[in-house]
Structure 1
Amino acid sequence: MIFPLSRIRFALLAFLFLLPTTVSLSVAAASPAAAELEVLQRDDPPLPQAFAEPPLLAERVAAGGLPPIEDRLPEVPLVVDFGQRTLGEPGGELLMLVGRNKDVRLLTVYGYARLVGFDENFELMPDLLQKVEVEDGRIFTLHLRPGHRWSDGAPFTAEDFRYWWEDMANNADRYPAGPPATLLVDGAAPEFEILDETTVRYSWPAPNPFFLPALAGARPLFIYAPAHYLKQFHPAHSDPAALQAKAEELGLRNWAQLHNRMDSLYGFDNPALPVLQPWRLITEPPSQRYVAERNPFFHRIDPEGMQLPYLDRFVLDVVGGSLLPVKTGAGDTDLQSRGLNFSDYTFLKQGEKRGNFSVRLWETVRPSELALYPNLNARDPVWRDLFRDVRVRRALSLAIDREMINQVVYFGLGLTGNQAVLPASPFHVEAHRQTWAQFDPEQANALLDEAGLSRRNRAGIRLLPDGRPMEIIVETAGENLQETDVLQLIKEAWAEIGVEVFIKPLQREVLRNRIFAGDTLMTMWFGLENGVPTADLPPNEFVPVQQHGYHWPKWGQYFETKGKSGEAPDLPAAQELMELYRDWHSATGRAGREAAWERILEINAEQVFTFGLVAQIPQPIVVRNGLHNLPETAIYNWNPGAQFGIYRPETFWMEEAARR
Structure 2
Amino acid sequence: MSITRRGLLSGAALAAGSALLYGCSSGSDKNSSGSDNSGSGNSGDTDASTTSAKKGDATKPVARPTSFQESPALKGKGLPPVDQRLPKNPYVIPHRWTGAGKYGGKLQMVVFGTTGAANASSVAEFFYGSSLLRFLNDGLDIGPGLVDQWSANDDTTQWTLHFREGMKWSDGHPFTVDDVLFWWEDMVLPGHDALVPPASNVSGSGKLVTMHKTDDNTLTLTWDTPAPLFPDELATWVNGPGGNGPIWVLPKHYLKQFHPKYNKKVGKDWDVTGGLWEQKADFKRNPDLPTMNGYKCKTFDNNNGITLERNPYYYVINTNGDQLPYIDQMQFTMQQKAETILLQIQQGTVDYCHGRFNNITLGDVSTLSSKKDSGNYDILLWNTGSGTGDMFFFNYDYIAKDEKYGKLIRDPRLVRAISYGWDRKTTQKTLYFGTGELTTGTLGTATAEFHADPDGPQSYKQWRDAYNSYDPAKAKSLLAELGLKDVNGDGYVEFPDGSKLTIDVPYSADIGKDGAAKDDQLVSDMKKIGLRMLRVPIAPSAFADEWTSGSLMSHTNWEASNAGTILGAPAWLLPVSNSYWAPLEASWFTYTGTGKNETELDVAPIKRHPPRMKPDAGGPIEKLTSLYNQAISESDEMKRNQLVWQMIKIHVEEGPFFLGSTANYQGVTTKNRDLQNVPTAGNLALGGDINDWEAPSPAMYDPECWYWTNPEQHS
Shorter chain as denominator, the TM-score bin is 0.7 to 0.9
| Mapped pair 1:403 → 2:422 | no
| Mapped pair 1:357 → 2:377 | yes
**Of the candidates 105, 122, 127, which is equivalent to residue 92 of structure 1?**
105
Q: Which residue of 2 aligns with 1:618?
A: 666
Cα distance, 1:484–1:52 mapped onto 2, change above 3 Å: closer
Q: Which residue of 2 aligns with 1:260?
A: 277
Cα distance, 1:205–1:624 mapped onto 2, change above 3 Å: same
Which deviates more, 114-123 or 316-325? Answer: 316-325
Counterparts of 1:421 and 1:211, CA distance in 2: 20
Counting matched residue pairs gives 624
Unpaired segments ≥5 residues, structure 1: 24-41
Q: Which residue of 2 aligns with 1:506?
A: 538
Contact 1:544–1:574 at 8 Å: present in 2 too? yes
* Alpha-carbon displacement from aligned partner over 1:81-139 (angstroms, at most 9, x marks no partner): 34132221222221222353326776654121122111124122212222011233331
**Of the candidates 84, 87, 95, which is equivalent to residue 71 of structure 1?**
84
**Of the candidates 304, 315, 324, which is equivalent to residue 308 of structure 1?**
324
| Mapped pair 1:494 → 2:526 | yes
**Of the candidates 265, 271, 276, which is equivalent to residue 292 of structure 2?**
276
Q: CA deviation at 1:307?
A: 1.6
| Mapped pair 1:445 → 2:476 | yes
Counterparts of 2:224 and 2:80, CA distance in 1: 45
Which deviates more, 377-386 or 129-138? Answer: 377-386
Q: Which residue of 2 aligns with 1:44?
A: 61
* Alpha-carbon displacement from aligned partner over 1:254-304 (angstroms, at most 9, x marks no partner): 89999835762x543322232221122233666845433322222222222
Q: CA deviation at 1:451?
A: 4.2
Contact 2:507–2:557 at 8 Å: present in 1 too? no
Q: Which residue of 1 aligns with 2:333?
A: 317
* Alpha-carbon displacement from aligned partner over 1:16-73 (angstroms, at most 9, x marks no partner): 43277667xxxxxxxxxxxxxxxxxx6422223322233223x33xx7x222222222
Give the percent of matched residue pairs that are identical in Structure 1 and Structure 2: 25
Cα distance, 1:353–1:468 mapped onto 2, change above 3 Å: same
Query: Counterpart of 2:330 in structure 1: which amino acid?
Result: F
Q: CA deviation at 1:319?
A: 4.2
Query: Counterpart of 2:167 in structure 1: which amino acid?
Result: H
Counterparts of 1:178 and 1:546, CA distance in 2: 10
Q: CA deviation at 1:402?
A: 0.9
Q: Which residue of 1 aligns with 2:30?
A: none
DSSP 3-state at the match of 1:476: strand
DSSP 3-state at the match of 1:147: coil
Cα distance, 1:332–1:385 mapped onto 2, change above 3 Å: same
Counterparts of 1:485 and 1:272, CA distance in 2: 42
Cα distance, 1:382–1:412 mapped onto 2, change above 3 Å: same
Q: Which residue of 1 aligns with 2:707?
A: 653
Q: Which residue of 2 aligns with 1:474?
A: 505
| Mapped pair 1:388 → 2:405 | no
**Of the candidates 388, 391, 415, which is equivalent to residue 371 of structure 1?**
391
Counterparts of 1:196 and 1:87, CA distance in 2: 36
Counterparts of 1:85 and 1:164, CA distance in 2: 35
Q: Which residue of 1 aligns with 2:626?
A: 579
Q: Which residue of 1 aligns with 2:170?
A: 151
* Alpha-carbon displacement from aligned partner over 1:225-261 (angstroms, at most 9, x marks no partner): 3344445666877xx5xx73xx79xxx9989999835
Which deviates more, 387-396 or 645-654? Answer: 387-396
* Alpha-carbon displacement from aligned partner over 1:374-400 (angstroms, at most 9, x marks no partner): 444345555444433334433332122
Contact 1:9–1:121 at 8 Å: present in 2 too? no
* Alpha-carbon displacement from aligned partner over 1:333-370 (angstroms, at most 9, x marks no partner): 21122323314434333332332222223322332222
Counterparts of 1:557 and 1:155, CA distance in 2: 36
TM-score (norm 2): 0.77
Q: Which residue of 1 aligns with 2:212?
A: 193
Counterparts of 2:368 and 2:328, CA distance in 1: 28
DSSP 3-state at the match of 1:370: coil
TM-score (norm 1): 0.82
Q: CA deviation at 1:447?
A: 3.6
Q: Which residue of 1 aligns with 2:350?
A: 333
Query: Counterpart of 1:590 in structure 2: which amino acid?
Result: E
Counterparts of 1:162 and 1:206, CA distance in 2: 22
Query: Counterpart of 2:571 in structure 1: which amino acid?
Result: N
Greater RCO structure (CA 8 Å; 6+ sep): 2
Q: Which residue of 1 aligns with 2:650?
A: 603
Query: Counterpart of 2:349 in structure 1: which amino acid?
Result: D
Query: Counterpart of 2:297 in structure 1: which amino acid?
Result: L
Q: CA deviation at 1:628?
A: 0.8
Name the larger-Rg structure: 1
Q: Which residue of 2 aligns with 1:30?
A: none
Cα distance, 1:236–1:490 mapped onto 2, change above 3 Å: closer
Contact 2:444–2:560 at 8 Å: present in 1 too? no
Counterparts of 1:258 and 1:396, CA distance in 2: 42
Cα distance, 1:82–1:609 mapped onto 2, change above 3 Å: closer
DSSP 3-state at the match of 2:97: coil
Q: Which residue of 2 aligns with 1:430?
A: 461
**Of the candidates 208, 225, 248, which is equivalent to residue 250 of structure 2?**
225
Cα distance, 1:554–1:56 mapped onto 2, change above 3 Å: closer
Q: Which residue of 1 aligns with 2:53?
A: 18
* Alpha-carbon displacement from aligned partner over 1:308-353 (angstroms, at most 9, x marks no partner): 2221222233444554334333322211223233144343333323
* Alpha-carbon displacement from aligned partner over 1:572-619 (angstroms, at most 9, x marks no partner): 444422322222233233333312221222221333233322333433
Cα distance, 1:476–1:197 mapped onto 2, change above 3 Å: closer
| Mapped pair 1:134 → 2:152 | yes
Superposed CA RMSD? 3.7
DSSP 3-state at the match of 1:611: coil
Unpaired segments ≥5 residues, structure 2: 14-49, 239-243, 451-456, 606-612, 682-687
| Mapped pair 1:124 → 2:132 | no
DSSP 3-state at the match of 2:572: helix
Contact 1:21–1:44 at 8 Å: present in 2 too? no
Cα distance, 1:138–1:10 mapped onto 2, change above 3 Å: farther
Counterparts of 2:572 and 2:318, CA distance in 1: 38
DSSP 3-state at the match of 1:355: coil
Counterparts of 1:614 and 1:432, CA distance in 2: 13
Which deviates more, 193-202 or 472-481? Answer: 472-481
Q: Which residue of 2 aligns with 1:556?
A: 586
Query: Counterpart of 1:432 in structure 2: which amino acid?
Result: W
Query: Counterpart of 2:370 in structure 1: which amino acid?
Result: Q
Which deviates more, 617-626 or 647-656? Answer: 617-626
Counterparts of 1:308 and 1:411, CA distance in 2: 38
DSSP 3-state at the match of 2:632: helix
| Mapped pair 1:56 → 2:73 | yes
Cα distance, 1:656–1:138 mapped onto 2, change above 3 Å: same
Cα distance, 1:645–1:497 mapped onto 2, change above 3 Å: same
Cα distance, 1:345–1:195 mapped onto 2, change above 3 Å: same
Cα distance, 1:207–1:465 mapped onto 2, change above 3 Å: same
Contact 2:381–2:666 at 8 Å: present in 1 too? yes
Cα distance, 1:474–1:392 mapped onto 2, change above 3 Å: same
Cα distance, 1:121–1:137 mapped onto 2, change above 3 Å: farther
Counterparts of 1:341 and 1:413, CA distance in 2: 16
Query: Counterpart of 1:277 in structure 2: which amino acid?
Result: N
